[in-house]
Structure formats: C-alpha cells, structure tokens
Chain A
Amino acid sequence: MFNLSLSPPQTEFVLKPGVTLTQAYEVTNNSSESITLNTEVLPFIPQGDNGSVSYSALLANPNIAFSLNNANLQLGQPFTLAPQESRQLVLKIKTSSDTQLADYYSTFFVYQTNDMSANSDTFSQSTGKIGSHILLSISNTEFPKIEGQIKKFSAFPKIKDVFFTPINFSIQIQNQTNYFFKSIGKITISKNQKIIKQLALESQNVLANHQRSILCKNQTTCTLSPPLWPGKYIATIEPDSNLNIPPISTSFWILPLSPIAFIFSIFFIVYLFRWIKKQVKF
C-alpha cells in the first residue's frame, strides 16, 4: 500500500540571482507498512488553461541547483519511513548569479521505489508518487513588472429570462510577461449605472507567458443567480491595478419571457374556453 502526505503542496518565491534558500517539507507515511521512498525535482511547463502541468523531456536549468540540506540524506537517495512516521526534508535551492531573470517552475517529488518481487503470474505493480510545486521568480526587484490582458470575458446566455437558470461568466487571463501573477480582481455587474452584484475572483496563478481560466472566490464558477429584474446589464471585470490589466465589459439582457408567456397562456386558455363554449352552444 502507498499512502503519503506531503506539505506544503506548493511554494512560491521571488529571489535575486545568486541567492540560496531552503524550504522544509514534511512527508508522512500514513500506511501501516514501512515504505522506501526517494526524491527528485523535475521541471514542468503549464499545460492547458486550468492549472495542469506537463513533464515533457525538459532540461533542468543548470543555473538553479536543487539539493537536500538534511545531514544524512541527499536528493535521489532512498530512505525508509516506518508506519505513521513523518520526516522533514529540507530542500535547498541555489541559484547562480548568471541565472536569467525569469520564472522557473519545478515539482519536488517524493516517490515510492520499485520493489518488484518475483512472481509466477503475469502482473503489474503500481507505484505512487506525490509532488509539490515550486514557482521561482528570479528577479532583481521584489515586485517584477507584470502585465497581462483579459483574453476572454463573456456572459452566457446573452439573453435570458428573469427566472430559472443563472448567467455564467467565462474569464481567461493572459500573462504577457516572464513572471507569474495572481488573478486578483472582481467582476462588477451593474444595471442603469447601479451595482447589482460584485463577484471576487479566485486568486489563481497565471504563469509566465501563459493563459488561465479564472474562477470566482472559493473555486466556484462565476455566476449571477436569478431572479433578476428585466433590462440591460453590464458586467465589468476589474483586475487589481498592480496587474496592469485594463478592465473590460460585456453585456447581457434579462427579459420577462416567462411572465409574458404565462400571461399569454392564460389569455389563450380563456380564449379557448370561450371558443369551446361557443362551439357547444351551436
């Protein structure tokens, strides 16, 4: 059985070229059996627009060295954890002064070493691996210049009834710089220049020169729930001013379709009733 915990699940640093820092991780064997583990750091690139990663055959940056700072353990050296035992792994990140000013993304992995036992049957063996992302921004300034644009901001549907289904907002932010930023901001929905609702954006990482679909606070889809009064609504997405992303707006209409349909149907029923009554008379 494989049952591991790894904390923290992600770390994010801004550091100057030539700086060395350490990060402590805690790995816990939650199973009732001893397990032999190993460690490695692999670079990743973002994939898609929802926070996925890809471990392509990327070459590690030679100017950034990862090692374990533990006295009796090196990166890539197997170690054993007893049942329910925890161990602190101290990862040392050393950058050379030649490191190019940009972002570097890696994952610190703790994985189970294979122990393929002799078996007379055809068999597969599963091995587990758990990772924690490291987002490094190498910069001479604490707050590197960031810039982006809202690649997509739309409301769906564009025309909707006053009741029933909500209006959904779709947001995609593009990072146009070499440094990641967080999608801090809000969506303001207004009608007749009056604010109807504000939705806070979830603080999600938009990695360098990449785009990401953004959710609203608490990882929920950005929605405006009915009932809504009829009229034209304007939704404006306003990213935090530090992101240097200009706000953009979209509009949608709420129409009293169901009330009108309801009234029409009443009139139709009355008319039908009177017509049937008339036919019966003749």
Chain B
Amino acid sequence: MKNYKLFLIFFLILFLSTIYHLPAKTAKLLAGLRPTISLAQTFTSPTYNIEFGNFNMTSGKKKSASFTLTDTVGQNAPGKYDSNGYTVKAGFQYIYDSMEKFSFSISDIDLPFSSMAPNVGSTQTNTITITTPSAHGYEILAIANHPLLGNNYTIPDTTCDNNDCSKTTSAPWTLSTAYGFGFNAIGINTSGVATNIGTSNYFTDSTYYRPFADFSNDDIPQIFMSENSKVTNRLARITYKVNISINQPAGTYSNLINLIAVPKY
C-alpha cells in the first residue's frame, strides 16, 4: 500500500512539474517542431496588402456596343474622397476576376407532374449548381408565387407526416396519406451521390420536406442551402413533391418557384 502512495505522489509531482516548469520553447520542440507563429496572410506581402489595395474595379471590363464607361470607380488615392465624394471600401470585388465568377444554374426549368394519382406521391427533380468567388460563401433562397393553383382550387402546402414541417423547418414526409406540395434539397457530388453538403442545416436527408415560402401570403424567401466559404460547382438536387387526396378537384395546377442565389456579405 505504501508503494502505491509513493507512486501516486511521484506522478503528482511529475504532472505539476510538466505544467509549471518546462519552458514553452522546450514544449514546442517536444510538440513536434511545429512553428510558433502562423503566417497565413494569404493576400499580404512586404510590398502590398490587397485588402487595402488601390485597384480600379471596372478596368478592363468596359465592353458594350451601346455604352462606354470612362470613369474610374475604385481609385482610392489620398484626397480622392474629398474631390470625388466617394471611395471604395476594401472588398473582395478586387479579386473576383482572378477567381471563379459568382455563378448559379438550374438544370431543368419545367417540372411537369404528369400522371398524378390520389395517395401516390409524384415527384420532379432538378439540379442547381453554384460557384462563388473567393469570398464568404453563398446562400440560396426559394419562394413560390403561390401554392399550386388551378380553377380556383389549390393543392395545399405540405405539413409532412406529423404536421411538423413549415416554411422554415423540414420534417419526414413519406406517408401516402399526407397530402400537399413541398420540396427537399440535398447536396450531391458530381456522380449524383448525396453528400448533403450545403443543405444539411435545412434537410436531414432526402425524406425530409418543407413547403415553399408563399409570395401571395406576404412570405419572404427562405434559405434552403448555404455555406460560409468559397465553393466551385457545388451541386444540390431539389425534389419537388405533390401528393393529392381523392377529394382534390381535377384540374391543371401550376405555380412558379423562384430560386435566388446571393453571396454572403
């Protein structure tokens, strides 16, 4: 028993000595010879700092048959603000040309729900692709002009299996007895395999749905995909689903879905 007490005291002393008495330099050396200072100043050198650069934001881009731009917006020379009355704050617009442009695409515009039958969900899909420059990410929002509407009847927005999804929260929608119109978005790779990158904060998986924000109801567009960093050709598959009951009046229903891509500021 005495040996164990000595053993514990020995380790306690060893433990305390490692904390208080070894210098940081030794610690660094023992910690794998890592450098102490991070030099991750990507856009800085001894001779320039692009964040405070003095670039002409419109230079080299003045091409139009009908218009010639001759001003030099973006100059930030001393005294410029007093003479012109404006200046350009450092922003990532200065480096956009050397990187990818802010681009957004939607693969299929038309989404016909042909051969709809009561209690059998009908789906349509399209793929969105987004590329952002070296900035602070993006977000994609969606809003419908109104619910699916035809002959003064509407197909209501889905409330999912347990009446627990809304325009801002998604929930599972798999039951054939849960009716309505809604959508799912899931991040995919170039092979079409679900990765849920960009969409995981909004849809847990491909069984989760939510209704669109409704412009006719004064809703505002709701985010369904976003990331905080630069992306190149990020893909997501959007699934639009309709499930009608036997009481749904026959007719042709339609609406417009507006998908909006903006950078993060």
Q: List residues of A whose CB falls within 8 A of some B CB.
A: 1-16, 18-19, 21-24, 26, 28, 30-31, 46, 50-57, 69-72, 86-88, 90, 105, 107, 109, 111, 114, 116-117, 119-133, 135, 137, 142, 182, 184, 190-192, 194-200, 202-205, 207, 215-220, 226-232, 255-256, 260, 263, 267
Contacts and interface: CB of A to CB of B under 8 A. Distances in A.
Interface centre among A9, A13, A200, A216 (most CB of B within 10 A): A9
A5 B103 contact: yes
A107 B262 contact: yes
Interface of B: 7, 11, 15, 18-20, 22-28, 30-32, 36-38, 40-42, 51, 57-58, 61-64, 66-67, 69, 71, 73, 81-82, 84-93, 96-97, 101-114, 116, 124, 126, 129, 132-133, 135-137, 139, 141, 144, 148, 150, 155, 218, 220-221, 223, 226, 228-230, 240, 242, 251-265
Contact of B228 (A15, A88, A219, A231): A219
Given A15-B85, A126-B106, A121 B37 contact: no
A127 B258 contact: yes
Contacts of B107: 1
Given A124-B124, A128-B106, A9 B258 contact: no
B220 A16 contact: no
Contact of A128 (B7, B31, B104): B104
A122 B113 contact: yes
A51 B81 contact: no
B195 to A, nearest CB: 19
Given A2-B105, A229-B26, A9 B254 contact: no
B254 A116 contact: yes
6 contacts: A51-B228, A57-B218, A105-B265, A220-B229, A228-B27, A229-B26
A8 B134 CA distance: 11
Given A13-B86, A52-B223, A219 B66 contact: no
Contacts of A50: 228, 264
Contacts of B67: 69-71, 88, 90
B104 to A, nearest CB: 5
Given A69-B67, A184-B51, A194-B25, A122 B150 contact: yes
Contacts of B256: 114, 116, 124-127
Contact of B252 (A30, A105, A122): A122
